RNA sequence: GGCCUCGUAGCUCAGUGGAUAGAGCAGCAGCCUUCUAAGCUGCGGGUCAUAGGUUCGAAUCCUAUCGGGGUCACCA
């Protein structure tokens, strides 16, 4: 890579010219801004201390040194403290000809021995997936692909929260008001059916609370004493005791939900290597807590509850086990983490979980450390922000959640309407058209969500998310499809899409800009993996597509009569298509051959 | 209240130590006998929340203040 060579040569220049060692952090390279001539810019301000000359003079001296000592340098110019280097076209052309046919340009082979474990999705089994889960799923899936492409072995894990009081609420409501309704009899997706009874529970529960409050009870007390919640707790106790009736119902309803989830995951296009269930891992956690008590790092109180005091770490006292011996959230996560470590000895253990749980994960890390698990340092919480709606926050109880299945269907419908309006599918058969609606609808949704920095809260505006113009997934997909069309036309005309480097071919500005952009891709993948941010890839993909569109409009391709130029532009187009496809693949977005 | 986090154009977002802070949307004006107009070009739009500080250089780092969000459960 040219950047590496340049870094070395600049170090050498500073050493030779000023008898001084430049620290790696002092060597700042950046892409030259478009309004100036050049490809790569060296910022020379850091060297003026050792040169004891003006920034301009320093830049000129280094520029002169590079020009005579580095064969890739064509020329240079100096503006203030910025040394703009123009790289020889031979470098660019050889970069193009050696890489344009490579299927996995920008991706590294998997080289790590220990895997990175990415846990994401992690749904509760009492209601269907919603918009918040979509952000989670897309981030987790995309991050997995990014890490893998940066050379990591990746294991994608889903941790299903299949036990607890919330499930029992749905079970109770179904027993009482369900009349034996099943997904088959109702025509509802399993997860939606179970979610329906969760809502029914809540409705009657609220009525009971209101009734108790009317008799003079405080609301807080009423919510603990309402008959429905007491019954749900009884079911939970029965379940923990292994009561057959409770367990059978639990299995049946969870089965419906899993079927529904599987469908949603499939439509969304995400998958897992392994699925864990909390009903199986919470016991490991309990054992760990016992161990901690025996080691004396956790303390058991008189009532039987177990605590850890994290005052020394600037945190609170934290409950690890209830007085009745049942486990809490932290207990389960301890168990799950330990199991992950035992199974994989991961290089890094990544949790894709909302930022409202930041404190929880900080505590989890420290609690494990107290147990002597130094590996807890390798846990990384990818803490993403909430998805807000124009009307405000999503609240399941107020019916303001955006259901995942509904949302995807809406995207498909909109893309269909749009494609018809634009007359895009006249030559498509039904099957191909349907695939296109899905590809584009999902492309719009995924890009809309992934282009935002994970850690930030984001606003989901339904009207804007179905927009297919501008900075959107479909714009990028369209750029790809158009390149494919050009390549098809070229093949029909008998032009060969191959590039033989030739000294006589010119490299015009739009071509050079496009090549520079493509040249950045491998570095972008590395950066995205380091920062755990699919948004970096998304924004890059848009920049690249924009760059191609400028190239496309400024230069003819098929009508170009100079053979070398046409070959250059065709191979450049093909290269761009490949990189766009690779970038979108990292985001889990498919590309259409035609649109 | 303690801790965490965010605040950039009318709106949604890029930009985390470098040049005159960028896109898209929305608004206005152009471009389809042409390789796909889901596109391209142009115009207008900014006290980078505020005030200090560090630095040759700050939207970016530090401190304080203001504003939004989160969190501090024998919920998950």
pLDDT at res. A393: 67
Which nucleotides of chain B does any protein CB come within 7 A of? Answer: 4-6, 11-20, 23-26, 35-41, 56-57, 68-76
Q: What is the DSSP string of A527-581?
A: HHHHHT-HHHHHHHHHHHHHHHHHHHHHS-STT--SHHHHHHHHHHHHHHHHHHH
Strand partners, A75: A86
Question: Is strand B less than 7 A from the beta carbon of A118?
Answer: no
Across-strand partners of A273?
A: none
Residue A470 CA neighbour count, 13 Å, CB half = 5
Look up residue A105 and give its DSSP letter.
T
The pair of structure tokens assigned to A456 is 């930030």
Q: Nearest 5 degrees, angle CA A327-CA A330-CA A334?
A: 100
Closest C1' nucleotide to A357's CA: B71
Residue A477 pLDDT = 98
Question: Residue A32, CA: closest nucleotide via C1'?
Answer: B19
The reply to whether the CB atom of residue A33 sits less than 7 A from any atom in nucleic acid chain B is: yes
- Angle between helix axes A563-586 and A534-554 (nearest 10 degrees) is 160
pLDDT band at A542 (very low <50, low <70, confident <90, very high): very high
For residue A400, name the pLDDT band (cuts at 50, 70, 90). low
- pLDDT of residue A567 exceeding 60, the answer is yes
A86 φψ region: left (φ > 0), alpha (ψ -120 to 50), beta (else): beta
Average pLDDT over residues A543-553: 96
Q: Determine which of A141-155, A282-296, A535-549, A568-582 has the lowest per-residue pLDDT on average.
A: A282-296
How many Å apart are A380 CA and B16 C1'?
21
Give the pLDDT band of residue A337 (cuts 50, 70, 90): very high
- Mean pLDDT in residue range A309-336: 89
d(CA A10, CA A70): 10
Taking residues A138-156, what's their average pLDDT? 97
Q: Which nucleotide is nearest to A388 (CA to C1')?
A: B69
- By three-state DSSP, how is residue A567 classified? helix
With bands split at pLDDT 50, 70 and 90, how would you rate the model's confidence at A316? confident
Which of A116-130, A137-151, A214-228, A472-486 is predicted with the least confidence, judged by mean pLDDT?
A214-228
Determine whether the distance from the CB of A160 to the nearest atom of strand B is below 7 Å: no
User: What is the average pLDDT across A433-448?
Assistant: 96
Q: What is the pLDDT of residue A85?
A: 96
pLDDT band at residue A398 using 50, 70 and 90 as cut-offs: low
Q: What is the pLDDT of residue A218?
A: 85
Protein A471 CA to nucleic acid B27 C1', in Å?
18
* Predicted pLDDT at A217: 87
For residues A507-525, give the mean pLDDT. 95
pLDDT for A313 equals 83
Q: What percent of chain A has pLDDT over 90?
A: 80
The predicted pLDDT at position A394 comes to 65
The chain-wide mean pLDDT, for chain A, equals 93
Note the pLDDT of residue A224: 85
Report the pLDDT value the prediction gives residue A417, as an integer from 0 to 100: 94
Give the pLDDT confidence score for residue A300 in this predicted structure.
Answer: 93
The predicted structure's pLDDT at residue A503: 63
Number of alpha helices (DSSP H) and beta strands (DSSP E) in chain A: 22, 14
Q: How far apart are CA A311 and CA A313, in angstroms?
A: 5
The interface pTM score, or ipTM, of the predicted complex is: 0.96
Question: In the predicted model, is pLDDT for residue A311 greater than 90?
Answer: no
Please report which confidence band the pLDDT of residue A263 belongs to, taking 50, 70 and 90 as the band edges: very high
pLDDT in tens, A26-59: 899 999 998 899 999 999 999 998 899 999 999 9
Q: Tokens for A141? A: 């899936």
Residues 341-360 (A) near nucleic chain B, CB < 7 A: 355-360
| A462: CB within 7 A of chain B nucleic strand | no
Query: According to the model, what pLDDT value does residue A23 have?
Result: 87
Predicted model pTM: 0.95
The backbone torsions φ and ψ at residue A347, rounded to the nearest 5 degrees and listed phi first, read -65, -40
List of A residues 225-264 with CB within 7 A of strand B: none
Beta carbons of A7 and A26 less than 8 angstroms apart: no
Distance A462 CA to B66 C1' (A): 32
Per-residue pLDDT, A158: 96
């Amino acid at each position: 890579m040219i950047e590496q060579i340049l870094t070395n040569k600049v170090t050498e220049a500073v050493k030779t010219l000023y008898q001084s060692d430049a620290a790696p952090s002092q060597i700042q390279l950046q892409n030259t801004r478009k309004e100036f001539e050049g490809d790569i810019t060296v910022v020379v301000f850091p060297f003026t201390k050792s040169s004891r000359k003006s920034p301009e003079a320093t830049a000129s001296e280094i520029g002169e040194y590079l020009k005579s000592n580095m064969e890739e340098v064509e020329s240079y110019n100096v503006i203030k403290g910025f040394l703009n280097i123009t790289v020889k076209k031979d470098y660019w052309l050889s970069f193009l000809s050696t890489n344009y046919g490579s299927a996995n340009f920008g991706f590294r082979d998997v080289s790590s021995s220990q895997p990175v474990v990415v846990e994401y999705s992690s749904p509760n089994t009492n209601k269907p997936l919603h918009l918040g889960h979509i952000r989670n799923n897309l981030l987790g899936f995309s991050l997995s692909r990014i890490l893998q492409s940066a050379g990591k072995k990746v294991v994608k894990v889903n941790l299903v929260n299949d036990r607890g009081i919330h499930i029992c609420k749905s079970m109770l409501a179904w027993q009482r008001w369900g009349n034996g309704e099943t997904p088959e009899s109702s025509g509802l997706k399993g997860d939606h059916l179970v979610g329906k009874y969760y809502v029914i529970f809540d409705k009657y529960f609220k009525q009971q609370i209101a009734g108790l409050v009317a008799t003079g009870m405080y609301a807080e007390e009423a919510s603990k004493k309402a008959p429905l919640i007491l019954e749900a707790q009884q079911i939970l106790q029965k379940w923990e005791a292994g009561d057959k009736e409770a367990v059978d119902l639990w299995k049946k309803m969870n089965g419906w939900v899993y079927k529904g989830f599987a469908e949603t995951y499939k439509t969304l296009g995400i998958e897992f290597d392994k699925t864990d269930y909390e009903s199986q891992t919470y016991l490991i956690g309990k054992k760990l807590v016992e161990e901690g008590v025996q080691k004396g790092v956790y303390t058991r109180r008189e009532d039987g509850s177990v605590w850890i005091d994290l005052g020394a770490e600037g945190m609170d006292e934290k409950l690890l086990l209830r007085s009745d011996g049942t486990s809490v959230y932290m207990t389960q996560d301890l168990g799950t983490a330990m199991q992950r470590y035992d199974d994989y000895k991961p290089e890094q253990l990544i949790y894709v979980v909302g930022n409202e749980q930041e404190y929880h994960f900080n505590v989890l890390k420290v609690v494990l450390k107290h147990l002597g698990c130094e590996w807890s340092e390798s846990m990384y919480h990818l803490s993403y922000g909430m998805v807000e709606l124009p009307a405000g926050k999503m609240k399941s109880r107020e019916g303001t959640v955006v259901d995942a299945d509904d949302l995807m269907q809406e995207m498909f419908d909109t893309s269909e309407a749009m494609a018809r309006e634009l007359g895009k599918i006249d030559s498509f058969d039904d099957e191909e058209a349907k695939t296109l609606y899905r590809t584009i609808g999902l492309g719009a949704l995924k890009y809309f969500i992934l282009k935002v920095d994970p850690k930030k809260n984001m606003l989901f505006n339904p009207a804007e998310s179905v927009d297919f113009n501008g900075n959107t997934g479909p714009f990028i997909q369209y750029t790809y499809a158009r390149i494919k069309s050009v390549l098809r036309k070229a093949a029909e005309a008998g032009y060969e899409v191959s590039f033989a480097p030739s000294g006589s071919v010119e490299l015009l500005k739009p071509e050079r800009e496009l090549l520079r952009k493509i040249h950045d891709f491998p570095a972008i993948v590395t950066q995205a993996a380091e920062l755990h941010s699919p948004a970096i890839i998304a924004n890059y993909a848009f920049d690249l597509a924009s760059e191609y569109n400028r190239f496309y409009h400024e230069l003819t391709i098929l009508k170009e009569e100079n053979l070398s130029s046409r070959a250059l532009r065709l191979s450049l187009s093909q290269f761009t298509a490949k990189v766009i496809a690779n970038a979108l693949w990292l985001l889990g977005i498919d590309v259409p051959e035609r649109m």
